[in-house]
Every structure is written in C-alpha cells, then in structure tokens.
C-alpha cells in the first residue's frame, strides 16, 4: 500500500490544490490531504472549517481522505504509515522554500520522500492568499475554487447578503 500525505494550510482549498490531489491519487494507492493547524499563520478559516471544505471537495475520489495534524510533519507521515509527502510547485518562486523544506524533512527522516507535482498551467497563478484577497474585495472567485468554498468565502466576507 503506497500512501502519500499532501500537507498544507488549505486556507481555503483551491482548484489548484484539487488538481494536485487528483494527480497524486493516480500515482498512489492512498492519499491523505493533511490540513495543518498552523495557528501562527492566523488562518481565515478555523481548522475544523478548513478540514470540512477539503472533505467536501474530495468526495468523488475513492482513494483520497482528509485529516488534520499538528506538530512535525515527518512524525505524522510515520503515524499514517505513509512513505511520501506530496507538495505542489507552481513557479520558480515556490522552489526555494519547498527545496529547503524537503531537505529538512529528509534530514529528520531519510525514509520519507518528497514528490513535487506541477498543476495544470491555468492554476499556476492561483493561491489561497490571492483567492481570499479577491473575495474580500467582492470579486468573483467561481473559477478558482469549488462552489462550497465560494459559499464559505462569501459567508466570511459578506455575511447576511444573498449569494
Ligand atoms: P502551505 O501553507 O503549507 O504552503 P498551502 O495550502 O498554501 O499550504 O499549500 C499547500 C501545498 O499546495 C504547497 O505545496 C503549495 O505549493 C501547493 N499549492 C498551493 N496552491 C497551488 C496551486 N495553485 N497549484 C499547485 N500547487 C499549489
């Protein structure tokens, strides 16, 4: 059983994340989308909300599940009996941080491999941060996130107004 962990803040999940999940699901027997608590990043959505949005987005993928974690990622990977970490690479700007993270995780546990996946080119400009900024300013994020994520963003930024 080859299991991969796809960790991230997912604040909130976007179509770019989903693209990576779908690609990973073809390569591994089991993929766990692992929502990091990351309170120090002051997420817009609570951990429970982020997890729920991920769960609703992966229902159509039988070998994908969602979970949350805190603490060291490599320890979580071992607890899940996984062998790999999946991360998305959008552009060269992601590379330096991701390279550092991957090598540090290898130092902490040399049995865990990090795999990088490139999303469809139309998602390379997409980030949770940009989606939140557009939604906060009242812009349309329908093409960037699943419908229920759009509804959740709307509820955060314009509570009480009809969708
Ligand atoms: P983190 O806070 O750990 O970076 P994110 O939720 O922002 O968490 O991202 C999780 C992973 O998904 C990271 O590897 C990030 O590079 C990747 N990712 C984010 N957006 C996209 C996208 N549009 N296309 C591909 N990968 C993405």
Q: How far is CA 7 from the centre of its chain?
A: 6
Ligand 1 centre distance from Cα of residue 158 (Å): 26
97: in domain: yes
Query: What pLDDT digit, counting tens, does each position of 32-41 carry?
Result: 999 999 888 9
Position 3 confidence tier, pLDDT thresholds 50, 70, 90: very high
Ligand 1 within 6 A of 127 CB? yes
- Cβ distance 156 to 149 under 8 Å? no
Q: How many structural domains comprise the chain?
A: 1
Residue 145, CA distances (Å) to 78, 100, 122, 128 in order: 31, 28, 13, 9
Task: Find the domain containing 136 and state its range.
Answer: 3-156
Nearest residue by C-alpha to atom 17 in ligand 1: 88
Q: Which pTM was predicted?
A: 0.95
pLDDT bin (cut points 50, 70, 90) of residue 162 is low
In a domain, 161, yes or no: no
- The predicted model gives 91-98 an average pLDDT of 90
Averaged pLDDT for residues 117-138: 95
CATH number, domain of 91, equals 3.40.50.620
Segment 24-66, tens digit of pLDDT: 999 999 999 999 998 889 999 999 999 999 999 999 999 999 9
Residue closest via CA to ligand 1's atom 12 equals 88
What's the gap in Å between 160 CA and the centre of ligand 1? Answer: 30
pLDDT digits (tens, 9 = 90+) for 95-104: 999 999 999 9
In a domain, 162, yes or no: no
Q: Which of 9, 57, 84, 128 is catalytic?
A: 128
Q: Is the CB of 90 under 6 A from ligand 1?
A: yes
């Amino acid at each position: 059983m080859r299991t991969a962990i796809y960790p991230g803040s997912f604040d909130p999940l976007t179509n770019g994340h989903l693209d990576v999940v779908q690609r990973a699901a073809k390569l591994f027997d089991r993929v766990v989308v692992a929502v990091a608590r990351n309170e120090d990043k002051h997420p817009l959505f609570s951990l429970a909300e982020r997890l729920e949005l991920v769960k609703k987005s992966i229902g159509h993928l039988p070998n994908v599940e969602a979970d949350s974690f805190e603490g060291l990622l490599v320890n979580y990977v071992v607890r899940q009996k996984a062998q790999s970490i999946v991360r998305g690479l959008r552009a060269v700007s992601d590379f330096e941080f991701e390279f550092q993270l991957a090598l540090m995780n290898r130092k902490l546990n040399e049995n865990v491999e990090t795999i990088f996946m490139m999303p469809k080119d139309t998602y390379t400009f997409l980030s949770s941060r940009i989606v939140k900024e557009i939604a906060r300013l009242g812009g349309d994020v329908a093409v960037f996130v699943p419908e229920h994520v759009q509804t959740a963003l709307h509820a955060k930024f314009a509570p009480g107004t009809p969708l």
